Amino acid sequence: MTTQQEALAAYFQAQQKKASDDEQELVGLQCLFLAVGLRKLFRELGAWLHNKGEQTIRPDEVLAVLEQIRALSGPYKRTLASAIAVACGDAAVRSVESTHVMLTIGGAVDGITRPDFPAKYFEDTFHSIPVGGNLLQEWCNRAFDSLSIDKIKLEIEKGLSEFRSYQQVARALRETIPGTSSQIDTLTRTYMHTATTEGTLAVYRANSDIVTKIQWNAANEETTCIACAWLDGQRFPLDNPPPCPNHPRCRCCLTPVTDGNKYVDVSIPSIQQAARVPDTQTWFEQSDKRLESLVGPNRFALLKAGKVQFDDLVDPGTFKIKPLETLLPGQDTRKIIADLKDKGD
Ligand SMILES: [Zn+2]
């Protein structure tokens, strides 16, 4: 029997998962937009170098050219920082909105405060507050400068330079694009995720009479890291949770731990219906491939034949996977599996 608290927790998790999927889509679009701008800049730089043709170039001239490229890229780096800050402002405002809708169970619960932060407030915050020890503008400068430009400089300083013409310099810089793109992608994802978390926390804090703590939730996929998996499910005070994102490209989210009093009049079926997201078990059962990769071929054979249910696979006392041999008490599980597989072939 599901308790009110369990239904609420499942509902909040489902909503945060949904919000995080939406965010990924939004971030993807934003990254695409920034990548297009980056390519345009490199095209312009390439054309500028190209005009100098096959002229030979001395090491001191290469250094001068690199400085000029830095100067030309200045406006782009500033535009980049602004574009990321604007995207963060939007993401935070959307997050305030969706977190408010979530806490009201889609409007079913009254008296949930919705803090009023304009996008500009978050935008300014992301311009002026260091994240991971650096300001946004510094991160953007680094993403742009740290690749070929520094490599070329180092080569020249070591006297290993292969650069004999402007076109060779242009070629080396072209190789920078993929690296810069992926750094900008990571930067945008991490910043926008920070913004989303700030929006979420702003709503939780404005409702600290109802939201007593936050719970950390990892994405729980193949790519989840050990630190995030360790944090998964742990609860922290509202004013001092571990920083989320926990690392670049982290996909964790924070769900509210609530004092259920506000929610006593909301029936469990209506909460479950509002979740409208399959639980983990249903998600895996939607696809045989997914389920087989989760449980392995032997347990998969037993599940498909209806010999066991998904819930039977784990020991509820220890939360550990039950050994295969104990799944069918009093029967030779291995032989049954072998027979099932023979039949399947
Ligand atoms: Zn994480």
Cα of 189 vs centre of ligand 1, distance in Å, is 12
Share of the chain above pLDDT 90, in %: 20
Cα of 99 vs centre of ligand 1, distance in Å, is 19
Please report where in the chains the tokens 């944090």 appear, as a residue. Answer: 231
Mean of pLDDT values over 196-200: 94
Mean of pLDDT values over 269-288: 62
Cα–Cα distances in angstroms (integers) from residue 48 to residues 66, 108, 154, 176, 326, in the given order: 12, 61, 23, 16, 72
Q: Which one-letter DSSP state was computed for residue 241? A: P
Cα of 247 vs centre of ligand 1, distance in Å, is 7
Task: Give the pLDDT confidence score for residue 284 in this predicted structure.
Answer: 53
Residue 322, amino acid: K
Which helix or strand (DSSP H or E) is residue 151 part of? Answer: helix 148-158
In tens, the pLDDT along 282-291 reads 555 567 776 6
Mean of pLDDT values over 276-284: 51
Cα of 250 vs centre of ligand 1, distance in Å, is 4
Specify the pTM: 0.72
Which helix or strand (DSSP H or E) is residue 256 part of? Answer: strand 253-258
Q: What does pLDDT average to over the chain?
A: 82
Spatial distance between the Cα atoms of 180 and 190, rounded to a whole number of angstroms: 15
279 pLDDT more than 70: no
β partners of residue 254: 216
157 pLDDT more than 90: no
Cα of 252 vs centre of ligand 1, distance in Å, is 4
Cα of 30 vs centre of ligand 1, distance in Å, is 21
pLDDT category at 98 given cuts 50, 70, 90 is: very high
Spatial distance between the Cα atoms of 129 and 148, rounded to a whole number of angstroms: 28
Residues whose Cβ atom is located within 5 A of ion ligand 1: 228, 246, 250, 252
What is the dihedral sign for C-alpha 129, 133, 139, 145?
A: positive
Spatial distance between the Cα atoms of 136 and 143, rounded to a whole number of angstroms: 11
Task: Give the pLDDT confidence score for residue 207 in this predicted structure.
Answer: 95
Task: Give the pLDDT confidence score for residue 227 in this predicted structure.
Answer: 76
Cα of 22 vs centre of ligand 1, distance in Å, is 17
Cα of 226 vs centre of ligand 1, distance in Å, is 9
